[in-house]
Chains A and B, each alone.
Chain A
Amino acid sequence: MALFLPNRYSGRLIVVEGIDGSGKSTQISLLSHWLRSQGYAVAFSEWNSSPLVRQTTRRGKRKEMFTPTSFSLIHATDFANRSESYILPLVKAGAIVCADRYAFTAFARDVARGVNRRWVRNLYRFALRPDVCFYFRVPLDVAVQRILGGRDAIKYYEAGMDLGLSRDVVESFRIFQGRILDEYEAMAEQMGFRIIDATLSIEEQQQQMREMVVEALGQRPRAGVLRIPEGDTSAGATAPAILQ
């Protein structure tokens, strides 16, 4: 993957990707807690969480103001803010940064909306290259059932209602998420995704992730990655999921 800024720093970047209902958020949360328990300095960043941008995004979604282009750009703005102000400095400082969703979300979603594939890859050119990217592969039906079963009503843009795929929200969601799934699958090899079968038990998935992370972090980088000193009880507190 020639895309992105190479990680020449002592920290590491681990990201998870997948459609809604793939279980990735659960897994990255477990992973980051485990890494912390192993004594590493861990930070966490999630999609759409920039304090400078998220109000604009929320308002835009609520009032249905977005077009595919502006939707893509506002998410890139949010990402850029987190990247510049949080992710990059922490990786430079030697922390392990865990990200729930990364540029690949934009690559899949924005293209599913009709945005030019090459354009959106260039848009994220400034992003740091992840050391590991986990892709949670889940059959569309399973993901849809999880979403319908668990949460509040599916939202307008989440369902791709702006694309006029169907008048029925659930049907639109299915079609839209199906398109996103196709985009993820098409880029999986080129982007070097580590594929996790999201139909396995939570424990099995987590085990696989831990093994892959240990393998990817290796011995040499371990020395550079920031570890919490022995007996230091002040450090190791849960890092904020959002910027302060």
Chain B
Amino acid sequence: MPALQPLQFYSEPLPGIDTADLHGKLIVIEGPDAVGRSTQVARLRQWLEQEGHAVLDTGMARSALAGKGIKEAMLGNTLGPIAMTLFYTTDFADRLENEIVPALRAGFVVLIDRYIFSIMARAIARGEDRRWIEQVAGFALVPHAVYYLRAGVDDLVRRVVLGRGAFDFWESGMDMRFGADMCQSFTRYQSRIIRALDLMAKRYNFTVVDASRPPDEIFRDLQKHIGALEFNGSPIEARPAAPARKPRRKRTWKSTS
């Protein structure tokens, strides 16, 4: 994988977008379900705002276009792997074009809870062709940093039981029924997800963060990494040429994606 500059497109430029215009920072937090991404994103956002940065945080199934449709489709269990992958990709495209790009143009720090990598991992875990989904997702922007919260499956199971208290159908991969029950299916499915993300870590230059530790330690690690990224002086300075276009969505924090 050749070294790509941040805010280039992976392979297919989106029509009509000049990346030279984009001054913000694109930071992605990746990792399997129940690893604690949303907790970290919330804390990072608070910290970055205290530091004076304008922050947009966004995550899967939150687009104005497709968020509702995805949630409704997943209330049942008839959504197949390819349709699911493409529904999430549509959702991602809508957020990218309508929320993320305008925020970057306005100089925001954009914190993304899961990116194309999770979409790809879920497709690959379900047996779909890696090269297919990689090419489909080629319109994504290359982030400044991807922090991969990595934990073992046993950690994840523990967090599900101690945290949510129940296994979720889709997070357990039960549409594919990887096991006789949700726990077994979750274990096998999330192992596949982790394996897929591990392979991507090398390909796409993830910064791997040991997420088996307590949240405070993980957060301090992330702070250290993000602090080392170069931010252009004072972040709420007026941008000369491009008019500051506010992101369409109100910035809100949700506890699950």
Interface set of A (CB-CB < 8 Å, partner B):
50, 52-53, 55-56, 60, 65-70, 73-74, 76-77, 80-81, 83-85, 114-116, 119, 122-123, 125-126
Contact = CB atoms under 8 A, between A and B. Distances in A.
Interface in B28-85: 64-66, 68-69, 72-73, 76, 78-83, 85
Contacts of B79: 52, 81
B183 interface: no
Given A56-B68, A77-B83, A77-B86, A85 B93 contact: no
Query: Which 10 A-B residue pairings sit nearest by Cβ, starting from the closest?
Result: A56-B69, A84-B80, A81-B83, A73-B90, A77-B86, A80-B83, A80-B82, A52-B73, A122-B135, A114-B15
6 contacts: A52-B83, A69-B93, A73-B86, A77-B83, A115-B15, A126-B129
**B: interface residue count bin:** 20 to 34
A65 B69 contact: no
B172 interface: no
A102 B12 CA distance: 23
B12 A116 contact: yes
Contacts of A65: 64-65, 94, 98
A220 B17 CA distance: 53
Contacts of A73: 86, 89-90, 93
Nearest to B90: A73
A68 B97 CA distance: 11
Contact of B90 (A55, A77, A84): A77
Interface in B90-108: 90, 93-94, 97-98
A52 B76 CA distance: 10
Interface of B is mostly: helix
B247 interface: no
A81 B90 contact: no
B80 A70 contact: no
Given A85-B80, A119-B135, A119-B138, A80 B86 contact: yes
B139 interface: yes
